[in-house]
Amino acid sequence: MDIYLTPLKFYNQLLLQNLVAEFSKRFSCKIHLNDLKVNIDDFFSIERKQYYSTQILAEVINLTDNIEGKVLLLTDVDLFVPALTFIFGEAQLNGKHSIVSVCRLHEEFYSGISNDKLLLERTIKEALHELGHNYGLRHCLDWDCVMHSSNGIEEVDIKGNGYCPACAKSIEGYLW
Ligand SMILES: [Zn+2]
Ligand SMILES: [Zn+2]
């Protein structure tokens, strides 16, 4: 089951390349860059000025039936689900699709000062997290584990950047 990194209104090529390199080190499957034409304008909420994540996933699910593997969407746009102010990402548990928004992973969103290294680190964590859900992992209580839930950026920064031994064990077939 290969992994298809799929940019969607996402324009940071360097970040994308770095993510491919990082995933290739961690996962034993092939990592592909996938080009997908999809219009998500309908999923923009004018009141919230954000995109409805679950609707984007539903649309992409329809368009990627032919892909055998995990489809991880990466987007610059800010995402929401109705119950929450924002989300960093969303994934189907034991499924094929997930999405990560880097909008609130940019340090300049908080402090006004950009930090590419921190952006990469945060993106790796959230991408590993959502993919973990695709592979059937639920939230983990271990703060060293990337499967710990993060409701704010400080929680993204505190948690570890890899799977804890227990989580890694249950998905060991996909890891090197
Ligand atoms: Zn989660
Ligand atoms: Zn864990």
Q: Chain-centre distance of CA 11, in angstroms?
A: 15
Domains by residue range for the chain, with CATH: 2-137 (3.40.390.10)
Which tens digits make up the pLDDT trace of 91-145? 999 999 999 999 999 999 999 999 999 999 999 999 999 999 999 999 999 999 9
- The predicted structure's pLDDT at residue 1: 84
> How far is it, in rounded angstroms, from Cα 102 to Cα 9?
11
> How far is it, in rounded angstroms, from Cα 23 to Cα 108?
25
Closest Cα partner for 143 from 127, 130, 125?
Answer: 125
59 included as an active-site residue: no
Q: Distance, CA 125 to ligand 2 centroid (Å)? A: 12
Q: Which of 22, 90, 126, 130 is catalytic?
A: 130
Q: Collapse the DSSP code of 52 into the 3-class scheme (helix H, G, I; strand E, B; otherwise coil) and give the result.
A: strand
Is pTM, for the whole model, over 0.75?
Answer: yes
- Return the residue matching tokens 């610059």: 76
> How far is it, in rounded angstroms, from Cα 55 to Cα 119?
26
